[in-house]
Amino acid sequence: MEIFVCLDVNQAQVRFLRQIAGNDVIHIAGDCSKVVRPPPEFISCQIALGNPPFPWLKSADKLRWIQLESTGFNEYAPLADLANEPNPILTNLAGFFAEPVAETCLAGILALYRGMHKVVSLKETRTWRGDRLRSCIRTLAGARVVLFGYGAINRRLHELLQPFGCEVAVFRRDWKPVSLDRELGRADIVVCACPETPDTRRAFDRRRLGELMSGALFVNVGRGSLVDEEALADALVQGTIGGALLDVTEREPLPKCSRLWDCNNVILSQHSGGGSVDEIDRKLQVFANNLQRYRQGKALVGQVDFRKGY
């Protein structure tokens, strides 16, 4: 059996991969996101770890299983239409990013509420504003929070919010537009943490963003496509909402011309939300567990359901 790894790994991680591969052949290719044509080692492999460029899959008829290194898998949706028989199994990292992303959500919310973004900017010019900062900052205790999506990330965020005594309204898959609009009109904070599906795409259009109160924070750690980015930039520039933490945007890297770069009270966390120093080690651990299950013929953890979209 041959295993192909398209992940940037260090020497210790290479040793770990070789160890779990045992007698199987393992090819460690590093980051392949910019590589147009599949290398021969990919064409001959049965298992891939990482996110190989989708066009590669057309020539990989031996491929039986892809362990993605992401939660999102939209680019692999056309997999079912490929001629490959049998279709390779696709597993993702559902739940894997709950802790880091929920922590980034709370970090961004508290940063905006407690003025951390302001003092970071002031520090660059050695400017002391002191007491004059105090009346512009807020406390999170008792805030009204709307959680849009209730997967692993928002469930974890909900736990982290418990000691603040927030009033939390949860919108799951079966969300009703009328109820959402009603809650948005009284929300201090809205956190979007869900995949893109036909139901969630542009859920936050211009009309719905208009429901938000003038001081409200908009947080998006789901997908850039959940929100009308032009309407969001308008709301931020005009101050009809209070601020935003955006981990995701429609285009990444965010184009230099985007107005979001200029908006005060916006934190752009540059899709780092899922990151942590031990991220790769933890990913390799997930793969190791699934590889063992694969060899034993057991069902793999995190198998993607294309019909549901998550």
Report if residue 129 touches its own copies, rule: CB under 8 A. Answer: yes
- Measured from the CB of residue 139, what is the shortest distance to its own copies in angstroms? 5
Using CB under 8 A, pick the residue from 34, 81, 83, 126 that binds its own copies: 126
Nearest approach, Cβ of residue 307 and its own copies (Å): 30
CA distances from 226 to 38, 244, 250, 267, 290 (A): 32, 14, 9, 18, 31
Work out which of 6, 9, 89, 140 binds its own copies, going by CB under 8 A. 140
DSSP 8-state secondary structure symbol assigned to residue 256: T
Residue placing its CB nearer to its own copies in the complex, 19 or 264: 264
Q: By CB under 8 A, what part of segment 59-88 binds its own copies?
A: none
Rg over alpha carbons for the chain, rounded to the nearest Å, is 22
For residue 219, list its beta bridge partners: 191, 245
- Sign, CA dihedral 33-36-37-43, equals positive
Give the Cβ contact number of residue 134 at 10 Å. 9
With CB under 8 A as the contact rule, the residue among 124, 174, 176, 297 that binds its own copies is: 124
Total residues belonging to the chain = 310
193: helix, strand or coil: coil
Binder to its own copies among 34, 36, 85, 136 (CB under 8 A)? Answer: 136
Which one of the spans 41-49, 71-79, 95-103, 189-197 is the region binding its own copies (CB under 8 A)? 95-103
Window contacting its own copies (CB under 8 A); options: 17-25, 83-91, 159-167, 292-300: 159-167
| Residue whose C-alpha is closest to residue 96's, from 292, 308, 218, 276 | 276
**Which residue of 19, 121, 179, 292 would you call a contact of its own copies, by CB under 8 A?**
121
Tokens 């230099």 sit on residue: 256
- For residue 37, state whether it binds its own copies (rule: CB under 8 A): no
Residue at token pair 């079966």: 174
131 in contact with its own copies (CB under 8 A): yes
Site residues for its own copies, window 273-302 (CB under 8 A)? 273-277, 279-280
Q: How many residues bind its own copies (CB under 8 A)?
A: 58
Distances (CA, A) of 259 to 30, 230, 254, 262, 303: 34, 9, 10, 5, 38
Please identify, using beta-carbon distances, which residue of 31 and 199 lies nearer to its own copies.
31
| 1 within 8 A of 25, measured Cβ to Cβ | yes
Per the CB < 8 A criterion, the answer to whether 281 and 254 are in contact is no
Binding residue for its own copies (CB under 8 A) from 22, 261, 295, 298? 261
In this complex, which beta carbon is closest to its own copies, that of residue 235 or of residue 266?
A: 266
Among positions 58, 123, 172, 173, the unique one binding its own copies when judged by CB under 8 A: 123
CA-nearest of 140, 152, 141, 51 to 101 is 152
Query: Which residues in this chain contact its own copies in the complex, by CB under 8 A?
Result: 99-100, 103-104, 106-108, 110-111, 113-117, 119-124, 126, 128-131, 133-141, 159-160, 162-164, 252-254, 256, 261, 266-277, 279-280
